[in-house]
Amino acid sequence: MGATREAGDAGFDVLIACAFSFDAHSADFTKLGNIPVLKARMNADLHMANDLKNTGAGNLFVIFGEPDIEIQPLDNQQIQVKLNGVDVFRPQSGEVESSGADGIACWFIDTDYNEESFFVRHAYFLGASDPYKSLKTTLKAEIDELAWESLNSDTSRSFPKPKTGRIAVKVINHLGDEVMKVFSVE
């Protein structure tokens, strides 16, 4: 908050906060007064910057937007989550790219988020190529195709409304960038 006040006093239009990760509460802090706060997740490769060869194709700073989520109420106090996509700001071009589910490698739901720790209760794996084939090859085993289909989805299986009144959704793109967003569910 202090940095945002300082940015406002100095006449800046925006504050960009850079970090290797952000906690769930930071998603609620998007502006202070008229100053928008953008969160730029730094790639962990920055820890090894001197050890990595500079190829010019790096993705060291990414502003990874919040996931576009729909929480769908169902019968019997059940809900379902639909992941529509996520936005990523590319500092190299200055463009915001909106990606659908194809831009997401995997996503997870904590169906009863307690604000202390994220517990994966649902896991889903998407992908631009055929992740089912890749998984079979990697594991060198047959996989139950119906079970896999339930995990290869942009729509979750149904689950009871959370006792805490909150769920958290974590999204990871193909570059390993991740974002988590907490949602109130009544």
Give the per-residue pLDDT at 60.
Answer: 55
- Provide the pLDDT for residue 120: 94
Per-chain mean pLDDT for the chain: 78
Mean pLDDT in residue range 35-42:
75
Instruction: Report pLDDT digits (tens) over 110-137.
Output: 999 998 889 999 999 886 566 666 666 7
For the 59-184 domain, the top CATH level (class) is mainly beta
Instruction: Give the domain ranges of the chain.
Output: 1-42, 59-184
Picking from 180, 182, 152, 173, the residue whose alpha carbon sits closest to that of residue 62 is 173
pTM of the model: 0.67
Position 122 scores a pLDDT of 94
The residues pairing with 133 across neighbouring beta strands, listed in sequence order, are none
| pLDDT greater at residue 86 or residue 121 | 121
